């Protein structure tokens, strides 16, 4: 696997990029760009690397602004991810690729699908939020702790930063399968979340502020295939979000995993990679 590298963007910021390709990787390998959750560093997690390698897939990831060594970008929106990804793809010589995101990475993957139809061949989102402005969706219903951090973000940056000073993890956010996943296959996720949290809260605050603002695109404008995977027992992003996204995305499919919560649903990542290849017309 190649070492992380920092890409210089037009505005002087850098993105820290992680790439599973090495000197022996085929130049024309099917490529998937991973959008990480909140908070994470953007580093490639072991289960994702193993699944991609078994399928001959080149897996890329990057830290969103203020995560994992990437420069901060206060005031960024969900749509801002697409502008960064264009520059990433240009510098790495990628004409066409699939995108994949989980939890807080889901909306950013959808931004790329909506705003970069000439580059993104297909999209997979696991446990993704829907827009706060989604018609007919009771956005907070079913969220652990009643979505306190996101409610604070709706008030503004100062309120969200103040909330973070005393924030504590609600153990009711996860179900038994989530804890089993974190103790087993997805242990690397827990480690990575710890590293991101220890580095500061700016990325997490900026994510939440972006989630509750208009996303500056509509999922109804996505013209390429989209897969949603959702845990039926998810208490972080309730299943109603996936239902709304399915109903409002033209070429979408939903895999509902009734017994999974927010972490256990990640076990669908490997087969989601197969789905992405099958639904990418260019490959």
CATH number of the domain bearing residue 212: 3.40.50.1820
For the chain, the domain total comes to 1
pLDDT of residue 1: 67
Evaluate if residue 23 carries a pLDDT over 70: no
List, for residues 45-92, the tens digit of each pLDDT value: 999 999 999 999 999 999 999 999 999 999 999 999 999 999 999 999
Residue 217 contacts by C-beta under 8 Å, 6 or more apart in sequence? 78, 79, 82, 110, 111, 114, 115
Residue 160: give the domain boundaries.
5-280
* Residue-averaged pLDDT of the chain: 96
pLDDT of residue 282: 66
Does the pTM surpass 0.85? The reply is yes
pLDDT of residue 22: 80
pLDDT of residue 24: 64
Which residue is it, tokens 């206060």? 74
Cβ distance 211 to 129 under 8 Å?
yes
pLDDT of residue 28: 84
Region 173-189 average pLDDT? 98
Cβ distance 21 to 10 under 8 Å?
no
List, for residues 198-232, the tens digit of each pLDDT value: 999 999 999 999 999 999 999 999 999 999 999 99
Distance CA 138, CA 262 (A): 19
**Residue 71 to residues 65, 86, 245, Cα–Cα distance (Å):** 5, 17, 31
Confidence of residue 26 (pLDDT cuts 50, 70, 90): confident
pLDDT of residue 18: 98
Confidence of residue 283 (pLDDT cuts 50, 70, 90): low
């Amino acid at each position: 696997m190649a070492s992380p590298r920092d890409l210089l963007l037009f505005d002087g910021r850098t993105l820290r990029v992680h790439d599973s390709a090495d000197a022996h990787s085929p130049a024309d390998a099917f490529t998937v760009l991973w959008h990480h959750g909140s908070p994470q560093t953007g580093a490639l997690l072991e289960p994702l690397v193993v699944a991609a390698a078994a399928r001959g897939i080149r897996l890329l990831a990057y830290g969103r602004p203020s995560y994992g060594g990437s420069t901060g970008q206060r005031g960024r929106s969900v749509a801002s991810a697409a502008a960064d990804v264009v520059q990433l793809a240009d510098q790495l010589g990628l004409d066409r690729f699939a995108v994949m995101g989980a939890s807080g990475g889901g909306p950013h993957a959808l931004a790329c699908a909506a705003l970069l139809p000439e580059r993104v061949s297909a999209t997979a989102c696991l446990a993704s939020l829907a827009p706060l402005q989604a018609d007919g969706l009771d956005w907070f219903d079913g969220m652990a702790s009643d979505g306190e951090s996101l409610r604070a973000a709706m008030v503004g940056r100062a309120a969200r930063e103040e909330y973070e000073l005393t924030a504590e993890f609600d153990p009711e956010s996860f179900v038994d399968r989530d804890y089993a996943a974190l103790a087993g296959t997805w242990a690397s996720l827990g480690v990575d979340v710890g590293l991101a949290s220890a580095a500061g809260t700016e990325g997490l605050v900026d994510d939440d502020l972006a989630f509750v603002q208009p996303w500056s695109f509509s999922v109804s404008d996505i013209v390429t295939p989209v897969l949603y995977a959702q845990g039926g027992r998810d208490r972080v992003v309730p299943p109603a979000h996936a239902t709304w996204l399915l109903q409002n995305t033209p070429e979408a499919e939903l895999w509902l995993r009734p017994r999974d919560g927010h972490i256990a649903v990640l076990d669908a990542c490997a087969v989601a990679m197969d789905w992405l290849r099958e639904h990418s017309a260019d490959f």
